[in-house]
Amino acid sequence: MMNERIERAVNALKANNFSVIYAKTKADIVNEVKAMLPEGCTVSSGGSQTLIESGVLELIKGEKYNYLDRFNAENPLEIFKGIIGCNFYFTSSNAVTEKGELVNVDGFANRVSAIAFGPEKVVVIVGKNKIVENTKEAFLRIKRIAAPKNCVRLSCNTPCSKLGHCVSLLNNDNPDMTDGCASPQRICRSYLVSGRQKEEGRITVIISEEDLGY
Ligand code: SF4
């Protein structure tokens, strides 16, 4: 049985026209993804610790699918153009609210743009650790957890990679959404809140009982 917090998020996402799959374990997530992907389809993904930890990245890079790999491309911009027209785009979300919203921040905007428009289907995989009450909490989660840890992962020379939290939280419990550093390597640049969707089921959210990523 899912806990109350997950249940609230699942119901609110469905009410906002997202498809939602509840998956208890990482193996369940991988099985759900296998079931939705036809052989030979074009897939791509945003950079995501969750996709690595869940085993989904390994699956979608397999020989059954045509994976558009921007990380190993000679010309990543050409790959980004291809991603706009791909069949499935996989990503996690920096936060999911109990009101049924996905909240994301990008440094380069490739991920938030693919979530908002382009790929036929978007599949968002999140552990229960990313569920928050509302968008205010979501942006605080990004400043306290997601962005600092991603900066460490990506070796970005930003204040948060040393402080462990956004510089905007120094002496301020309530910074504005875009408050932060002036580092050239800042990863918090383009902010996207995905609320009620027009096209029912374009975005599928797989929510896991396990904690995944950050
Ligand atoms: S604005 Fe800068 S310091 Fe704050 S979380 Fe983003 S990258 Fe880190």
Which pLDDT value is given to residue 76? 84
Q: How many residues does the chain have?
A: 214
CB of 19 shorter than 6 A to ligand 1 = no
CA 175 distance to own-chain centroid: 22
Residue among 108, 143, 185 to mutate when testing ligand 1 (max atoms within 8 A of CB): 143
3-state DSSP of 83-119? HHCCCEEEECCCEEECCCCEEEEECCCHHHHHHHCCC
- H-helix or E-strand spanning residue 52: helix 49-54
Protein residue closest via CA to atom 1 of ligand 1 = 180
Protein residue closest via CA to atom 7 of ligand 1 = 186
Query: Using an 8 Å Cβ cutoff, are 202 and 122 in contact?
Result: yes
pLDDT digits (tens, 9 = 90+) for 42-99: 999 999 999 999 999 999 999 999 999 988 888 888 898 899 999 999 999 999 999 9
CA 61-9-59 angle, 5° bins: 10
CA nearest to 214, candidates 130, 109, 91, 88? 130
50: tokens are: 């969750």
DSSP state of 136: H
Q: Choose the CATH number for 4-133+188-208 among 3.20.20.70, 3.90.105.10, 3.40.50.10420, 3.40.718.10.
A: 3.40.50.10420
CB of 70 shorter than 6 A to ligand 1 = no
| pTM for the predicted model, two decimal places | 0.96
Q: From the CA of 167, give the closest atom in ligand 1.
A: 3
Which pLDDT value is given to residue 70? 84
**What is the spatial distance between Cα 89 and Cα 28, in angstroms, rounded to a whole number?**
19
